[in-house]
Amino acid sequence: MCGSVRYEARGEPLVVGHCHCHSCRRHTGAPVVTLVAFTADRIRFTGRTRSIYNSSPSVKRAFCDQCGTPLTWEGFSRASNAEVIEVHISTLDDPARVFPTEHWLHDERIPWFDTADGLPRYRGKGAAGEEPYRHGPVEDGLPD
C-alpha cells in the first residue's frame, strides 16, 4: 500500500488460487484471499525488508511494517517440491494480468461466502492427484 516493500517475480506463476482457509482470512481480514504462487528463487524483494510472522511451524507470512499490508504466504509446497512464495494478488502492480484457476481449502470457507465462477473447489490445496470435490459455487450458501 505504501510502496516501502517491493518485489519482482520472474516467469509464469505456478498457480493462482483463491484460499478460503481460516489462517489466510485472519491474516488479511477478508473472507477469501487470492494468491499467486512462485518458487522462492523466482522472487526478489527490494526496498524495505518485509516483516515475517511465523504463523505455524513451517509457514511464514510477510507484511509491511510501515502500513501493515499483508504480502505473502511462504512455505514448502509438496506439489512443486520446492519452497514457494505466494503473494497476495492485490499487491501486484497489475493484478488483472493473472487469473485464478482454482479454490483451495474451500470447505473451510465462511458459509455465507462463495464466488460466482465455475472453478474447481478443493478441500486441500489441489496438490498431486487431489480431485476437486465440486466445480462452481455452493448454491444454497451452506457448505456441503
pLDDT (tens digit, 9 = 90+) per residue, 79-92? 788 999 999 999 99
144 vs 71: CA distance, rounded Å? 31
Which 3 state secondary structure label does DSSP give 137?
coil
pLDDT over 70 for what percent of the chain? Answer: 96
DSSP string of 28-89, one letter each residue = HTSS-EEEEEEEGGGEEEEESPPEEEEEETTEEEEE-TTT--EEEEEEEETTTTEEEEEEEG
Per the prediction, the chain carries an average pLDDT of 92
**pLDDT given at position 33:** 97
Residue whose cell numbers read 466445480: 135
pLDDT band at 1 (very low <50, low <70, confident <90, very high): very high
pLDDT band at 129 (very low <50, low <70, confident <90, very high): confident
First-residue to last-residue Cα distance in the chain: 37
47 vs 49: CA distance, rounded Å? 6
130 vs 66: CA distance, rounded Å? 39
**pLDDT given at position 139:** 73
